[in-house]
A and B are shown apart, each in its own frame.
Chain A
Amino acid sequence: MSDIKRRTLLAGFAAFGAGACTEIGQTDTAGDLFDTAEDWHRLAHRALAGRQRLAPEYAPEDRSPDVKGNGSITVETEEYRQALSEGFASWRLAVTGLVAQPLSLSLEELRALPQRTQITRHDCVEGWSAIAEWKGPQLSALLDQAKIRPEANFIVFRCADTLYGEPYYESVDLVDAYHEQTIIAHELNGAPLPEKNGAPLRMRIERQLGYKHAKYLTAIEAVASFDDIGKGKGGFWEDEYDYQWYAGI
């Protein structure tokens, strides 16, 4: 057999196998298997790391020159342009849903809360990483202040931006919501959060990939389940592109 023929044959086999797998991957059974594998990874990570083990924190000199802006890098609404030009003086963050005491906080009020400053690494699902210093109040402080109700199981993050025409949102469970490093960042490397990184507020969910770290944050909502939110999968990327809800891998 000539070399060309053999290579074509090999490529053919690969393509046939991959084609079959591509098809299999779209079945319900495969979907269930993928979900089970994801659950096992999450449970294994939690079993190994416990609920509160910290992501590594770095020294100032370990920081990368910048943090790449990815996904939405601006918000194309009149209100946002206006808010940006005013330095977000009238921006409010709502804390709603299954809470006894709903809140609406200004940036000033958020800055008056106890702050956590952390130099952490941002890992994008695409594969790249950046290291930067983030500062803001812990999410747990807000949830305590709002008196989160016992029936709440997840925290949903609402955002001002849309991506490919759909509103961006994300969610985490209470383990990550109450994690010590889960903060609402308003500063990046000592300066107000830049527009491309989610000004004026973004989440830091340090033990998961970047798409969980919702930017342009407008509201934090405690819910029992996210079945009725968006398309029911717990986030923009999950709804629109079947990304994994647990992004610890």
Chain B
Amino acid sequence: MKKRHALSTRLWHWINAAALIVLFMSGLNISNAHRYLYWGDYGYDPADAWTAVMRFPAWATLPGYYDLAAARDWHSLAAWVFALALLAIWVAMLVNRHFACDVMTAPGEWKTSALKQAFLDHLRGKFAGHGSKYNPLQKITYGLVFGVLLPMMVVTGLAISPGIEPAAPWLIDGLGGRQSARSLHFLFAWALFAFFVVHIVMVLLSKPLRQVWGMIAGGQEDHVDE
């Protein structure tokens, strides 16, 4: 019987989860070095900041005390794992047609009625798609995560690096300047955190042990009795 999750999906899922946790927690440590976010190319004066973010507590940061150098070590190491794994899963998803078959939406799935149905199903605790692996809301969410949030973490991260800018000045310009890129890096990170929370809640609400084991061992395709 066909596995519900391909080996490439499962490997990537856990490698990516580990890399994202390291990146997020070391990122919070780095954020504590200068808690102000700006738009445009420059910004150093808290009076010009569009927001001052909280000082993140030690238990939420990596390492578990303020250390900019160690946090940057973790961040720069995990960035390689995260970016290369993202490239690999995109190649795998396109080759094994996981993206085309399971994630890409059909035009009908964008109809208000279909989205409303999926939303109501969610409220009733029914998460299975009709005749396919994922329901429209899941497809749109996964599409956003794979197509926008994850790649934008890499893109905005590269844009903040002064060593990348000479090679790709258009990248920084396109994002509205270095401080804008830094702000976006922060915002996309929190958007991913929001996805993470919803993702965990959904797993907990839908046979959590089976879901987690499925992502480890592969699980089996659902029978669609319709």
Q: How many A-B residue pairs have CB under 8 A?
A: 147
* Closest chain B residue to A129, Cβ basis: B42
Contact assessment for B69 and A237 in the assembled complex, using a CB-CB cutoff below 8 Å: yes
Contact assessment for A45 and B44 in the assembled complex, using a CB-CB cutoff below 8 Å: no
Nearest Cβ on chain A to B51's Cβ, whole angstroms: 13
Contact assessment for B182 and A127 in the assembled complex, using a CB-CB cutoff below 8 Å: yes
Interface assignment of B116: CB less than 8 Å from any CB of chain A? no
Contact assessment for B64 and A18 in the assembled complex, using a CB-CB cutoff below 8 Å: yes
Residues of A within 8 A of B64 (CB): 15, 18-19, 22
Known: A21-B62, A128-B44, A241-B69. A49 touches B34 (CB 8 A): no
Nearest Cβ on chain B to A126's Cβ, whole angstroms: 4
Interface assignment of B70: CB less than 8 Å from any CB of chain A? yes
Residues of A within 8 A of B30 (CB): 127
Contact assessment for B25 and A48 in the assembled complex, using a CB-CB cutoff below 8 Å: no
Contact assessment for A129 and B62 in the assembled complex, using a CB-CB cutoff below 8 Å: no
* Closest chain A residue to B46, Cβ basis: A128
Distance, CA A241 to CA B167, complexed state (A): 30
Q: Interface extent on A, as a size class?
A: 35 or more
Nearest Cβ on chain A to B15's Cβ, whole angstroms: 15
Q: How many residues of chain B get a CB closer than 8 Å to chain A's CBs? A: 44
Contact assessment for A45 and B179 in the assembled complex, using a CB-CB cutoff below 8 Å: no
Interface assignment of B121: CB less than 8 Å from any CB of chain A? no
Interface assignment of A249: CB less than 8 Å from any CB of chain B? yes
Contact assessment for B41 and A129 in the assembled complex, using a CB-CB cutoff below 8 Å: yes
Specify which of B44, B77, B163 is in contact with A248 (CB 8 Å cutoff).
B163
Residues of A within 8 A of B12 (CB): none
Nearest Cβ on chain B to A56's Cβ, whole angstroms: 5
Nearest Cβ on chain B to A152's Cβ, whole angstroms: 23
| Contact string against A for B residues 45-78, beta-carbon threshold 8 Å, 1 for contact and 0 otherwise | 1000000000000011111110011101110110
Nearest Cβ on chain A to B83's Cβ, whole angstroms: 10
Contact assessment for B167 and A129 in the assembled complex, using a CB-CB cutoff below 8 Å: no
Restricting to B156-179, which residues have a CB under 8 Å from any CB of A?
161-169, 172, 178-179
Interface assignment of B127: CB less than 8 Å from any CB of chain A? no
Contact assessment for A55 and B44 in the assembled complex, using a CB-CB cutoff below 8 Å: no
Nearest Cβ on chain B to A31's Cβ, whole angstroms: 8
| Contact string against B for A residues 234-249, beta-carbon threshold 8 Å, 1 for contact and 0 otherwise | 0001000111101111
Interface assignment of B143: CB less than 8 Å from any CB of chain A? no
Distance, CA A100 to CA B218, complexed state (A): 67
Contact assessment for A244 and B74 in the assembled complex, using a CB-CB cutoff below 8 Å: no
Residues of B within 8 A of A54 (CB): 166
User: A-side interface residues toward B, CB under 8 Å?
Assistant: 11, 14-15, 17-19, 21-22, 25, 30, 33-34, 37-38, 40-42, 45, 48-50, 53-56, 58, 62, 64-68, 121, 123-131, 206-209, 237, 241-244, 246-249
Q: Which 6 A-B pairs have the closest CB atoms?
A: A248-B163, A45-B163, A48-B167, A128-B44, A49-B167, A53-B166
Could you list 10 A-B pairs, sorted by A, with CB under 8 Å?
A: A18-B25, A18-B60, A22-B62, A25-B63, A30-B73, A33-B77, A34-B76, A42-B163, A45-B161, A45-B167
User: B-side interface residues toward A, CB under 8 Å?
Assistant: 21-22, 25, 30-31, 33-34, 36, 38, 41-45, 59-65, 68-70, 72-74, 76-77, 79-80, 161-169, 172, 178-179, 182
